[in-house]
């Protein structure tokens, strides 16, 4: 296997081959670093490359494995982090001018767990400023979609999606508040999981919205997502929002037998126009699930029709409140200068009346109850499109932020697990994707159905770079 093929191995497969001695972590890491050096000037996915650290970690991983000290399925596997995940001794910019030179003194919990698992950190990848936006364009980099560099990768975890889709890393860690893992995963044609809220610690991750932030994995396959979740999930006393119960068993996730599985299609979300390719990809996924033995049925969750409105009355005000707190504390002594788009979003958050936010929180709770009842009575999982179209242009022509979060934000608001998965491509080769959603803490169910669907669809396209 040459290095051009090696970089396309999934995280789980690469981990198995490293453990078996068929490939060394050093070779895998050097292959990624070489590809980053060649392609990152075009993609602008990486903001900080930790090449010497990566080489040292890979060398240590090979030595440990050779000595019989195997740490688990990610031992020796190279990865990257969204640049809101704090890394001790390595700058964390959050995509902002304000934190351009900030070097944290401690790691985020998710990074601590990956380091303990023996994974190899390649560096930090770009994010929309303070994870508050959908394009991943800022003063640190204008990240591009590997399938068409005239298109955005989505956001706010656009650097993560671009890096994984381009073969620059085996996996990445992103965050999702209203779709920021699933949107770029959909635009770049990879898999991305927004886990159950509180299943993965957010301690040490630069916050956007305290009640809606999720930390989760992005990779090229569902199998890889399960392997990563087995490492990063679990209780954390440093995060008061983190669940205290042990995480589900992710290492046993396989392709589910779908005979009799009820797949619900929520009618309230299908009222917006879909690009033909997105519509065809959704139909293809429904047909594949039916062929696998699942029973597809229409379901109703009335408040899904208001989810974007609910989101917009909660997330921007929470984000603005967070920044007011930082401006009076953490940001003191720094020049507080936001990009124009984020400044506008923050101003929007400041203008939402408190009564509107209170009413939206009430509707959010009711939406959660409606989803719980629907899952209990009607469906095991839901299927929706992930995006109404393929990736939009870098110039933002035709950008509609409400449409981009339409299928995504209801499930961030309610904290249920949601998986974005590629389901085809448009006439220009741009990926389109679907989304699978399950009940709280049924993340393994979502991944198992997703793996079966992924195998049935067989869609995995390397960008022509």
Distance CA 166, CA 465 (A): 8
Question: What is the rounded distance in angstroms from the CA atom of residue 451 to the CA atom of residue 453?
Answer: 5
Output DSSP code: residue 90.
B
Query: Cβ contacts of residue 146 below 8 Å, gap of 6+?
Result: 43, 153, 162, 165, 166, 188, 463, 465
Dist. CA 74–CA 359, nearest whole Å? 44
300 C-beta neighbours (distance < 10 Å), count: 13
Give 100's contacts (C-beta < 8 A, 6+ positions apart).
Answer: 91, 93, 139, 140
Q: Round to whole Å and give the CA distance between 395 and 149.
A: 12
Kindly state the tokens that stand for 36. Answer: 């980053």
Residue 237, class by beta-carbon neighbours within 10 Å (0-12 exposed, 13-18 middle, 19+ buried)? exposed
- Tell me how far apart the terminal alpha carbons of the chain are, to the nearest angstrom: 19
Catalytic residues: 82, 156, 180
Angle (nearest 5°) at CA 128 between 125 and 134 = 120
How far is it, in rounded angstroms, from Cα 14 to Cα 240? 34
């Amino acid at each position: 296997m040459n290095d051009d093929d090696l970089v396309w191995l999934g995280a789980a497969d690469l981990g198995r081959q490293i453990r078996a001695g068929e490939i060394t972590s050093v070779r895998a890491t050097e292959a990624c670093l070489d590809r980053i050096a060649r392609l990152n000037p075009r993609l602008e996915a990486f903001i900080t490359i930790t090449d010497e650290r990566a080489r040292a970690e890979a060398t240590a991983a090979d030595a440990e494995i050779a000595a019989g000290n195997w740490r688990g399925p990610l031992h020796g596997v190279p990865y990257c982090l969204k640049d809101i995940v704090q890394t001790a001794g390595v700058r964390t910019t959050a995509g902002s001018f304000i934190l351009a030179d900030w070097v944290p003194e401690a790691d985020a919990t998710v990074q601590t767990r990956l380091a303990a698992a023996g994974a190899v950190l390649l560096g930090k990848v770009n994010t929309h400023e303070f994870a508050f936006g959908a394009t991943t364009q800022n003063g640190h980099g204008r990240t591009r979609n590997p399938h068409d560099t005239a298109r955005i990768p989505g956001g706010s975890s656009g650097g993560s999606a671009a890096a994984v889709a381009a073969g620059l890393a085996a996996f990445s860690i992103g965050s999702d508040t209203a779709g920021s893992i699933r949107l770029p995963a959909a635009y770049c044609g990879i898999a991305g999981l927004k886990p159950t809220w509180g299943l993965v610690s957010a301690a040490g991750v630069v916050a956007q919205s305290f009640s809606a932030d999720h930390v989760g994995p992005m990779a090229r396959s569902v199998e890889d997502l399960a392997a990563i979740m087995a490492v990063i999930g679990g209780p954390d006393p440093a995060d008061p929002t983190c669940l205290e119960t042990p995480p589900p068993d992710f290492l046993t996730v396989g392709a589910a037998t779908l005979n009799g599985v009820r797949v619900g299609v929520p009618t309230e979300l299908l009222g917006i126009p879909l690009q033909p390719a997105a519509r065809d990809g959704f139909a293809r996924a429904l047909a594949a699930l039916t062929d696998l033995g699942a029973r597809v049925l229409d379901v109703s969750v009335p408040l899904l029709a208001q989810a974007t409105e609910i989101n917009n009355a909660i997330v921007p005000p929470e984000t603005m409140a967070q920044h007011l707190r930082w401006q009076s504390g953490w940001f003191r002594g720094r020049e507080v200068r936001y990009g124009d788009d984020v400044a506008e979003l923050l101003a929007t958050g400041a203008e939402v009346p408190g009564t509107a936010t209170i009413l939206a929180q009430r509707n959010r709770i009711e939406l959660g109850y409606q989803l719980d009842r629907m899952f209990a009575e009607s469906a095991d999982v839901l299927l929706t499109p992930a995006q109404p179209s393929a990736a939009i242009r870098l110039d933002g022509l035709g950008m509609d932020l409400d449409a981009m979060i339409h299928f995504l934000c209801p499930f961030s608001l309610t904290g249920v697990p949601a998986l974005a998965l590629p389901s085809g491509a448009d006439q220009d080769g741009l990926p389109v994707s679907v989304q699978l959603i399950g009940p709280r803490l049924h993340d393994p169910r979502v991944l198992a159905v997703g793996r079966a669907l992924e195998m049935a669809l067989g869609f995995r396209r390397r960008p022509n770079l």
